[in-house]
Amino acid sequence: MSDVLVFDRFTYTYPGAETAAPALRDMTLTVGEGEFVVLAGSSGEGKSTLLRAAGGLVPHFHGGEVAGELHVGGMDVRTHGPGELAAVVGSLFQDPETQVVMGTVRSELAFALENRGEPASAVARAVEEAALALGIEHLLDRLTHELSGGELQRVALGAALAGRPQLLLLDEPTSQLDPVAGDELIGLLRRLNEEWGTTIVLAEHRLERCLSAADRVVALAAGRIACDAAPRDFLAWAADTAPALQTPAARLIAAAGLSPAPIGVKDARATLRAAGALRTSAGDRQEQFPPARGASHAAGSPPSPPPSRHHGDDDSSPRRLPFGRRATTATALRLARVWLEPRDARAILRDVELRIAPGERVALMGRNGAGKSTLLRIAAGLLKPTRGRVEAAGRVALLLQNPNDYLVHDRVGDEAPAAALARVGLADLADRHPRDLSGGERQRLAIAIVLGDGPPPAVLCLDEPTRGMDRAHKDDLVALVSGLADAGTAVLVATHDPEFVAAFAQRVVLLGDGRPIADGPTAELLSGGWYFTTETARILRGAGHALDPDAGAALVRARLDATARAASQ
């Protein structure tokens, strides 16, 4: 097996960061042809930089200082730039918005192939196959600037795949995809790897999505390789050395006192069944667990649902939604019979009724293109509804999907007040260039810019705020939005990250086809589903409404204790 990617004592420092530690330090790594490698590590540890180097962007685009050797497909990156490397490398980075350059989806997928001089018939076939593989064939004639973030991400990936690259570099490729599209993408990557022999290097924070497809996991820490092992061995290493990198399934099994660490849901269920902690009723095929105190609600939710939803005080008849609840008297944000109907196009939002109380923490979920981002834009006043009205108790702050839209200075310290930077954990990066930050760091910087140092907003709307964030920084974000909510700010977050939802949200509103189709307490709405749910809930099939590993482990221990007591009698 030949080597596709070879780092040999490679060291890189971003420009302007000469006094700081290098982003990559003495990196020695070999990836063979046909391997599937997952890069793990906290934000800012070097994962994105490694991928930029493998694609030739480091140092040719970013500049900076380089030492050591790096060969990609037999080419030395010192003498071959991104254009030459593109013959063997396909890349999808954290910002698909910056990669898409053509006006329509079809022309975007064809762009690289046409630049290579491929025959028209070969280009048309490659475009059709890439579109079918990613489920975007219905988007081929759409304008790229009209696409949602998740749709744009799939288009950028399609452009990378159309030329059937020898090496595929992916940086958080599922971060903006709904659960179904994310699972389908990992399945596609596995098929490309197994059937086409494509070498894949993928950086991901939500490791539970991709570990089962990986041959190796390479964990980075401070720009160095901390672990290079098979997935199961990596999980064992993480349990002892880097607990923040454990998957929810691994944390659940460990907290229940069981082993080994599972690679996925099926593996975890097998471990529970072997231990006698998972029992299936022959009548209804549901796992039977005794109730466990404290396990009936999500970690970030109160034991009883807060008051939230009210369909309005006009004479219209409210629609009954699953999990509907009592009205509130105070309102921070209200959308009353809101429609958005672009001329000569299908309605994006359809008769939306939504009320959010001061201090309420609400997650907005739904498939790509369901209208989540549009709803947030209307709430913040960036778009005006064609029908209906929007009412807010004060300023509505909005963080859009692309944090780069907020970055206008050459220095992090000039983007936001020092207090706001400290609030999001970026005080020590004040002298860095914003474009040299990792995706997660840029996301936190954008949050600091939106919040500023003035009075807190009446409503804070966040669109995919966990993109590029590791678990520790997600926990920090939970603490940040919870603190704002405690001070009276209503928080509305559009996200595809159910683990984050379970940690912060009291309530979930599920959008489908431009309107809310379900609205209720987080523990109820995320339990027992197939896609809009956490890994813990999938393992336990919603038992006890347990959404996080600690709550799930409590149920498992209760089952083990009950089994032990029964055996002793």
Report domain extents, the chain: 1-88+167-246, 95-164, 252-298+549-568, 358-384+395-525
User: Which among 537, 523, 512, 458 is positioned nearest to 178, based on CA atoms?
Assistant: 512
For every residue of 278-299, DSSP letters joined together read --B-TTT--B-----TT-SS-T
User: Which among 55, 72, 70, 100 is positioned nearest to 7, based on CA atoms?
Assistant: 70
In 271-404, the DSSP E strands lie at 333-340, 349-356, 361-366, 387-392, 396-399
Secondary structure letter of residue 432 according to DSSP: S
Which three-class secondary structure string do you get for 55-103? CCHHHHCCCCEEEEEEEECCEECCCCCHHHHCCCEEEECCCHHHHCCCC
Q: What is the pLDDT along the chain (569 residues), one digit of tens a residue?
A: 689 999 999 999 988 766 678 999 999 999 999 999 999 999 889 999 999 999 999 989 888 999 999 999 999 999 998 888 988 999 998 778 788 899 999 999 999 899 888 999 999 999 999 999 888 999 999 999 888 777 888 899 899 988 889 999 999 988 888 888 888 889 889 988 998 899 999 999 999 999 999 999 999 999 999 999 999 999 999 999 999 999 999 999 999 999 999 999 999 999 999 998 886 544 444 555 554 444 334 444 433 333 333 333 443 333 334 433 444 469 999 999 999 998 877 899 999 999 999 999 999 999 988 999 999 999 999 999 999 999 999 999 999 988 888 999 999 999 999 989 998 889 999 999 998 887 778 888 999 999 888 889 999 999 999 887 889 889 988 988 999 999 999 999 999 999 999 999 999 999 998 999 999 999 999 997 888 999 999 999 999 999 999 999 999 999 999 888 888 87
Residue with tokens 């069981």: 258
What is the enclosing helix (H) or strand (E) of 364? Answer: strand 361-366
For every residue of 108-128, DSSP letters joined together read HHHHHHHHTT--HHHHHHHHH
327, amino acid identity: A
SS3 call for 24 = strand
Judge whether 150 and 496 are in contact, CB under 8 Å. Answer: yes
| Rounded Cα distance, 90 and 242, in Å | 31
Q: Which residues pair with 349 in a beta bridge?
A: 340
Q: Which residues pair with 509 in a beta bridge?
A: 364, 519
Give 479's Cβ-side CA count (13 Å radius).
Answer: 9
Identical fold between 1-88+167-246 and 358-384+395-525? yes
CATH homologous superfamily of 358-384+395-525 equals P-loop containing nucleotide triphosphate hydrolases (3.40.50.300)
| Rounded Cα distance, 54 and 71, in Å | 8
- In 3-state terms the chain splits into helix, strand, coil percentages (rounded to 5) of 40, 20, 40
Q: Do you find a cis peptide bond into 290, omega within 30 degrees of 0?
A: no
| Rounded Cα distance, 199 and 6, in Å | 13
Q: How far is CA 403 from CA 54, 329, 448, 533, in A?
A: 24, 35, 11, 26
Please give the biggest Cα pair distance in the chain.
78
User: Which among 276, 298, 295 is positioned nearest to 553, based on CA atoms?
Assistant: 295
Judge whether 488 and 344 are in contact, CB under 8 Å. Answer: no
Which phi and psi angles does 66 have, rounded to 5°?
Answer: -125, 140
| Rounded Cα distance, 92 and 432, in Å | 24
- State residue 329's pLDDT score: 63
| Rounded Cα distance, 290 and 429, in Å | 49
User: Which among 102, 92, 89, 111 is positioned nearest to 153, based on CA atoms?
Assistant: 92
Residue with tokens 């926990």: 475
| Rounded Cα distance, 122 and 103, in Å | 21
- State residue 369's pLDDT score: 86
Secondary structure letter of residue 421 according to DSSP: H
78, amino acid identity: R
| Helical segments of 370-438, H only | 372-380, 412-415, 418-423
Helix 439-451 vs helix 471-486: crossing angle, to nearest 10: 10
| Rounded Cα distance, 54 and 38, in Å | 14
| CATH class name, domain 1-88+167-246 | alpha beta
Residue 404 structure tokens:
């780069």
- State residue 279's pLDDT score: 66
Judge whether 192 and 228 are in contact, CB under 8 Å. Answer: no
